[in-house]
Structure formats: C-alpha cells, structure tokens
C-alpha cells in the first residue's frame, strides 16, 4: 500500500529539516508501510522507552542521531534508564551497563528530550490532553494515556518512538483512529472479595485477568469499586499490559471515553462477555505469588510503575514505628523526589529504612543488594516480570501487607 505524503513529510525526507529528521522519516515510512498506514498525523508529544541500555546497538542508534544534529520537534519525555543518576552508588552491575547506560541517558538529553526518566510521565507536568495524538512507548504509559487520559497512541517500541519525536509525525493507524478504540469485550465484575478494603487489589486482579484473556482487544469493564482512583487505574493498566498486550481499556463511569457501556462499545454488541466473581479475583491475586505465606523475605519493592505522591501519602503513616529488618525500596521519579524533599518526607523515609530509587526501577537493573531470597511487592507488574528478569521468587500483597512483612522479615497478611 502506498502512503500519501504531505509537503511536511516530503520536506523531512528531503533533508530540508536536517539529516537526523531525514533518517528518522525514512525509517518511519518503512514502518508505516509494514503496519498498513495510509498517511501520517501530527503528534503533540512523545515518550521514549529506548533510554534503558540493552547493549551497544541502543547507544549506537542514538549517537548516530546526535552526530547528525538531531533535535526532537515535540515535547518529549524519557522513560527509566539503567542507572539512578542521582544516586549512582546504588548500581552494582557491570561497568559496561553503568557507563553505557549513563551515556545513553545523556545522549537522549542532547537530542532535546526532557530528563524525566520515569515510566509514569502522566504524573509529571507532561500530561496529554483528551484527544491528543501522541507517540508514546512503555507499556503502562501507553495504556494509561489511552485509557485514563483519552489521548491517542499505539504501542510504539524503541527507535520508532524516537523517530516520531524527531519528525513530529506518526503513522495514522490503530488507536490513533477513533473507530478502532471501540471496546470489543465486556468484562463484568460481578462481586468483590469482602475482605479487600482497598480498590487497588481488585484493580490488579482485574488487570491481570484482562491481560491474560483479552490479548490486544479493547475491553470495557463494569463493576470496579466506586473508590477506584487514578493510581488504582494505573496499576490495572500496568499489569494488563504486562500479562497481555492491552493498550486501551474502558472503565465504565470512570474513564473519559466510557460514560456508558454503549459509548464504550460505540453502540455495537460485544464479541465476548467475561464475568469475574470474588473467587476468580482471589485466585488471580493468589497466583501472582510464587511463594506461600510465611516465606522469609530479603526485600520489599514498591513503585512499579513509579510511586506517585499520593501513594507516598498512604505509605507515610505506615512507616511510623519499628524499622524493617530487610531492605525496602521505593521506585519513583524526580518530580516526586523534589516534593518529598520539600515536605521533609525524604528524610523520614530514609530514617525509616526506605531506599528511594530514582530514574530507574529495581526489576530492570542491578540495584537490589540481596537477591538470595523472595521479594514482596504490591505491584502486579513487578510480580509479573521480576521472576524472569532478576530471578527471584515473589510475594504479592497490599501496601499494608508489604510494610508489615518488611518488619517481620517474612510474608505476613493483615
């Protein structure tokens, strides 16, 4: 299929906008042909996932664009890197990853990207408006932007995301198009476990279930707790995108494109109806743990996606009292760190035995000091990826369970 190119596209390809933009546009044209796009669309913003060091090739690609004088053409945020540039002493991996990872992060800054280094860019000042066409990478950021904000992006991967940023253009296909955002599956949450006081557990369970059962089809969800907040939806989308390929969900009555079921389905019948009951949700959460209750722990890790200020607000009362007997890590980003420092919370957290990890995340790089035993988390995404990524057994639980377990040194439930 031939692609209709605008005068802007032709100008980019000809090199009139610089060598880096021409290089990026050539790649985008080939990518657009592969996905069947008929044209390109202007984007308002980009989020780049490629600043995590995955080998010399990732650095070579960005260095080439730097050598061509590349500059991003739209506001562009950066996902986590391989090292915490604010606390470099936390990294204890190889020199190659340390040096290459830090250089890769800096090279993106030289292209004009904003050094947010977070997987939750939507919780910084860079929050796309409803209906904005954007090119975001990083699975949880994509699903949050599409679902909770109503912005429009496909699941862009490394290199293509940066090409979009350098040109300000994206192939017009997939979730950029309104009719493709129609829910195809109806997920009815019929009952919730009575013992779950937090909506967060229900959202992780529902997210994991739709990830496993919906693939890349768009679900519309009914019956989520009325107390569901933005961080709960963040957790739902993160685990759904990890366990499957979900890039957009509609939570009826909660997300902007789903004021009603009819709106989410765009007036059509669902292709499938999935009903989830309390027993299903309990079983789903139970399966996120690979060890039984009572198992000794070596660490607790919170904040995947990055912990928000609101989540710290729920954590702060829990840290008063005895110190944990194992390592406790919280992954978050620079904007939140600034606010923690302003409120005096950073010092309180440090005194309570909490290690803050900025710019990166504990399951993607060598930060955790002791991986000899099981690790507990309140993140469905962390629980899903950590066994494969860093080879640990995992216990999943609520935030309160995690803090209590850190004090006990073993998995306990409140």
d(CA 50, CA 31): 17
CATH of the domain at 247: 3.40.1060
pLDDT in tens, the chain (414 residues): 689 999 999 999 999 999 999 999 999 999 999 999 999 999 999 999 999 999 999 999 999 999 999 999 999 999 999 999 999 999 999 999 999 999 999 999 999 999 999 999 999 888 999 999 999 999 999 999 999 999 999 999 999 999 999 999 999 999 999 999 999 999 999 999 998 878 889 999 999 999 999 988 999 999 999 999 999 999 999 999 999 999 999 999 999 999 999 999 999 999 999 999 999 999 999 999 999 999 999 999 999 999 999 999 999 999 998 999 999 999 999 999 999 999 999 999 999 999 999 999 999 999 999 999 999 999 999 999 999 999 999 999 999 999 999 999 999 998
Inside any domain, residue 389: yes
Inside any domain, residue 359: yes
Domain that residue 244 falls in: 181-284
Q: Are residues 259 and 317 in the same domain?
A: no
User: Length of the chain, please?
Assistant: 414
Q: Are residues 319 and 280 in the same domain?
A: no
Inside any domain, residue 371: yes
**Where is the domain boundary, 284, 306, 322?**
284
Inside any domain, residue 343: yes
Q: Are residues 103 and 160 in the same domain?
A: yes
d(CA 333, CA 196): 29
Predicted pLDDT of residue 1:
61
Q: What is the pTM of this model?
A: 0.95
Taking phi over 0 as left and psi of -120 to 50 as alpha, with beta for the rest, 253 belongs to left
**Where is the domain boundary, 224, 257, 284?**
284
Q: Please list, in sequence order, all residues whose beta carbon lies within 8 angstroms of the beta carbon of residue 30, skipping any fewer than 6 positions away.
A: none
**Where is the domain boundary, 134, 160, 176?**
176
Tell me which residue of 353, 350, 364 sits closest to 118, measured CA to CA: 364
Give the chain's domain count. 3
Phi and psi at 91, nearest 5°, equal: -80, 135
Asked if 125 and 335 touch (Cβ cutoff 8 Å), the reply is: yes
Tell me which residue of 352, 324, 350, 321 sits closest to 337, measured CA to CA: 350
d(CA 109, CA 413): 44
Inside any domain, residue 161: yes
Measured CA to CA in angstroms, residue 258 lies from 180, 226, 253, 267 at distances of 14, 15, 6, 12
d(CA 178, CA 226): 27
Q: Using N-to-C axis directions, what is the helix angle for 230-243 and 199-214, rounded to 10°?
A: 30
Inside any domain, residue 414: no
d(CA 278, CA 291): 22
CB-based contacts of 281-286 (< 8 A; 24+ apart in sequence): 281/189, 281/192, 281/193, 281/201, 281/202, 281/205, 281/206, 281/209, 282/193, 282/205, 284/205, 284/208, 284/209, 285/201, 285/204, 285/205, 285/208, 285/396
Q: What is the CA radius of gyration of the chain?
A: 21
CATH of the domain at 165: 3.30.499.10
Inside any domain, residue 106: yes
d(CA 87, CA 92): 12
d(CA 32, CA 13): 14
């Amino acid at each position: 299929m031939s692609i209709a190119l605008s005068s802007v596209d032709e100008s980019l390809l000809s090199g009139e906008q610089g060598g880096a933009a021409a290089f990026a546009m050539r790649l985008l044209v080939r990518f657009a042909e592969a996905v069947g796009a008929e044209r390109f669309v202007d984007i308002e913003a980009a989020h780049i996932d490629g600043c995590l060091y995955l080998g010399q090739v990732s650095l070579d690609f960005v260095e080439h664009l730097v050598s061509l004088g590349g500059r991003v053409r739209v506001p562009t945020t950066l996902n986590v890197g391989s090292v915490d540039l604010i606390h470099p002493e936390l990294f204890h991996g190889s020199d190659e990853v340390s040096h290459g990872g830090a250089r890769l992060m800096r090279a993106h800054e030289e292209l004009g990207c904003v050094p947010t280094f977070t997987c939750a860019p939507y919780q910084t000042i860079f929050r796309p408006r409803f209906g904005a066409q954007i090119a975001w990478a990083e699975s949880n950021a994509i699903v949050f932007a599409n679902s909770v904000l109503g912005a429009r992006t496909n699941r862009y991967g490394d290199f293509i995301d940066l090409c979009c940023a350098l040109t300000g253009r994206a192939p017009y296909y997939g979730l950029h198009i309104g009719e493709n955002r129609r829910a195809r599956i109806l997920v009815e949450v019929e009952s919730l476990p009575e013992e779950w006081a937090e909506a967060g557990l229900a959202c992780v369970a529902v997210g994991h279930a739709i990830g496993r059962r919906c693939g890349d089809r768009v679900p519309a969800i009914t019956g989520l707790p009325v107390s569901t907040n933005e961080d709960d939806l963040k957790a739902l989308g993160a685990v759904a995108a990890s366990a499957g390929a979900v890039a957009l969900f509609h939570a009826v009555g909660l997300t902007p494109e789903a004021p009603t079921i009819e709106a989410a389905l765009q007036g059509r019948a669902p292709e499938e109806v999935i009903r989830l009951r309390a027993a299903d949700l309990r079983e789903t959460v139970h399966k996120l743990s690979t060890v039984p209750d009572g198992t000794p722990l070596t660490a607790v890790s919170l904040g995947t996606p990055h912990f928000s200020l609101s989540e710290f607000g729920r954590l702060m009362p829990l840290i008063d009292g005895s110190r944990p007997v194992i390592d406790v890590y919280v992954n978050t980003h620079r904007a939140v760190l600034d606010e923690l420092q302003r409120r005096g919370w950073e010092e309180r957290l440090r005194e309570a035995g909490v290690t803050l990890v900025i710019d990166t995340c504990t399951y993607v790089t060598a930060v955790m000091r002791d991986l000899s035993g099981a690790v507990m988390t309140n993140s469905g995404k962390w629980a899903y990826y950590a066994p494969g990524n860093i080879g640990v057994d995992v216990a999943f639980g609520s935030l309160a369970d995690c803090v209590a377990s850190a004090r006990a040194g073993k998995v306990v439930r409140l």
